[in-house]
């Protein structure tokens, strides 16, 4: 089962983890996470190099997010037509070329177009990789596999943050994109050789009309799962929205606690470290507890740390630890929503479910910084802004509890009236 042309097996007979598939899917998502934040890291150096104000890069940053969102939305139909393996391969090719060409961009318009195209590839990789990995591994581990693969986004971002600063300092901003492109290019032959076509492995070949219907967003609103889809989308939007308020504005907020402009970026680093820890906590907790219960708990943890931060005053070390805790609670929710999505729907609809749920999160990532900027612009105290952020997180916690109860009351059905493998309860 380690090659593109493996003989078919019954999915129920897959009892052992397929490590080559898991590792390849994870690495592809790590590179996705690296490239996703590469431009944000490079903006200060680009601004100096091109002699333009950093605000001029807003279209490139925004259209990267738009491209990612469109990739999320399109991935269901793409995987239905071409298979997860081929979508992963094509998406990695797209963001490899996009990243490489970005290193030689000569102006804002050219940069913006390249990042939009690159973003589409970045958006297509994660849902396809999650669907591929869960299709070729034991069904009982679908939640844990989805968490493991999706964690690659956080690890990739952390690698970019640590490595990117050194690359820019030693070799200037193009090196960030060149290194990412080289790493992606090195992965491609491994994907080609060792990533099998899940349709051939499981024998799950479907007529084009059937595949198209299974991949339609309308399937996410079938009567059996409609309510849960709405709840999951709302949870994803709110958690992403709050996380991106802090990932965008935390250094600014920390200056009111006495952090210098040189030390304030440590807040973002603390948030990132907490995010990685949160991903690890989620993977361990998912082995023993219901995913919705875990996500409700991590949401409460985020609220507790947010409230605690308002009582710490100018204790810089404790503030960084506390905002690391905020990152832990929120990032667990951002990763966990994909794990819920992949178990909420039948396997043939999994990529569509993960893609659309993630696109709702991406919408939250656009709204969050706008809300944060508006609150700062109103002149509100940092403690007030932090307490305000507790409200959507509390709503998200209530939503995910309702999602878990909904799943327990009425299991989803798949074709033929059989219960789907729903891991949210």
Task: Give me the average pLDDT of each 10-residue run along the chain (425 residues).
Answer: 50 77 95 86 84 82 84 88 93 96 93 94 92 87 86 83 83 93 96 87 58 74 90 95 80 74 68 82 85 94 93 80 90 90 83 88 83 84 90 96 79 42 44
Let me know: does 248 contact 370? Beta carbons within 8 Å: no
Whose tokens are 């569509």? That residue is 352
For residues 329 and 100, what is the distance between their CA atoms, to the nearest angstrom? 35
Let me know: does 194 contact 88? Beta carbons within 8 Å: no
Query: CA quadruple 61, 282, 180, 96: dihedral positive or negative?
Result: negative
pLDDT value of position 93: 97
Q: Give CB contacts under 8 A, 24+ apart, made by 398-402.
A: 399/231, 399/234, 399/235, 399/238, 400/231, 400/235, 400/292, 400/295, 400/296, 400/299, 400/333, 401/292, 401/296, 402/231
The phi, psi pair for 129, rounded to 5°, reads: -65, -40
Q: Per DSSP, which regions of 147-252 are E strands?
A: none
Cβ neighbours around 231 below 10 Å, total? 24
Strand-pair partners of 413 = 419
pLDDT value of position 214: 62
The token pair at 65 is 């997010």
Q: Report the half-sphere exposure of 98 (CA within 13 A, side-chain side).
A: 27
For residues 66 and 71, what is the distance between their CA atoms, to the nearest angstrom? 9
pLDDT value of position 212: 65
For residues 149 and 145, what is the distance between their CA atoms, to the nearest angstrom? 6
pLDDT value of position 31: 94
Q: Report the half-sphere exposure of 2 (CA within 13 A, side-chain side).
A: 7
pLDDT value of position 113: 95
């Amino acid at each position: 089962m380690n090659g593109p042309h493996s003989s078919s097996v019954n999915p129920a007979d897959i009892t052992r983890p397929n490590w080559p598939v898991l590792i390849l899917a994870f690495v592809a998502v790590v590179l996705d996470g690296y490239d996703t934040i590469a431009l944000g890291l490079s903006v200060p150096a680009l601004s100096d190099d091109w002699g333009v104000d950093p605000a001029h890069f807003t279209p490139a940053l925004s259209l990267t997010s738009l491209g990612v969102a469109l990739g999320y939305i399109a991935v269901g139909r793409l995987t239905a037509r071409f298979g997860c393996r081929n979508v992963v391969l094509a998406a990695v090719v797209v963001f490899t070329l996009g990243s490489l060409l970005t290193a030689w961009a000569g102006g804002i318009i050219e940069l913006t177009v390249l990042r939009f195209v690159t973003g589409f590839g970045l958006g297509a990789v994660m849902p396809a990789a999650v669907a591929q990995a869960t299709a070729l591994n034991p069904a009982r581990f679908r939640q844990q596999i989805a968490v493991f693969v999706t964690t690659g986004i956080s690890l990739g971002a952390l690698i970019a943050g640590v490595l990117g600063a050194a690359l820019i300092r030693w070799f200037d901003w193009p090196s960030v994109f060149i290194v990412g492109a080289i790493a992606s290019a090195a992965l491609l032959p491994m994907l080609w050789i060792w990533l099998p076509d899940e349709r051939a492995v499981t024998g799950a070949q479907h007529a084009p009309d059937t595949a198209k219907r299974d991949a339609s967003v309308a399937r996410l609103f079938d009567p059996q799962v409609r309510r849960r889809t709405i709840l999951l989308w709302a949870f994803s939007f709110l958690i992403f929205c709050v996380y991106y308020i802090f990932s965008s504005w935390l250094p600014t907020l920390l200056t009111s606690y006495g952090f210098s402009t040189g030390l304030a970026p440590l807040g973002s680093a603390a948030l990132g470290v907490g995010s990685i820890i949160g991903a690890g906590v989620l993977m361990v907790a998912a082995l023993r507890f219901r995913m919705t219960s875990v996500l409700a708990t991590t949401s409460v943890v985020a609220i507790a740390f947010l409230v605690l931060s308002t009582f710490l005053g100018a204790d810089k070390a404790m503030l960084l630890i506390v905002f690391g805790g905020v990152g832990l609670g929120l990032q667990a929710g951002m990763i966990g929503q994909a794990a819920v999505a992949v178990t909420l729907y039948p396997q043939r609809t999994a990529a569509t479910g993960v893609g659309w749920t993630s696109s709702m999160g991406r919408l939250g990532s656009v709204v969050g910084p706008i809300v944060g900027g508006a609150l700062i612009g109103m002149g509100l105290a940092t403690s007030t802004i932090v307490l305000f952020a507790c409200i959507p997180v509390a709503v998200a916690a209530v939503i995910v509890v309702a999602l878990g109860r909904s799943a327990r009351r009425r299991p989803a059905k798949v074709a033929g009236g059989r219960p789907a493998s729903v891991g949210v309860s």
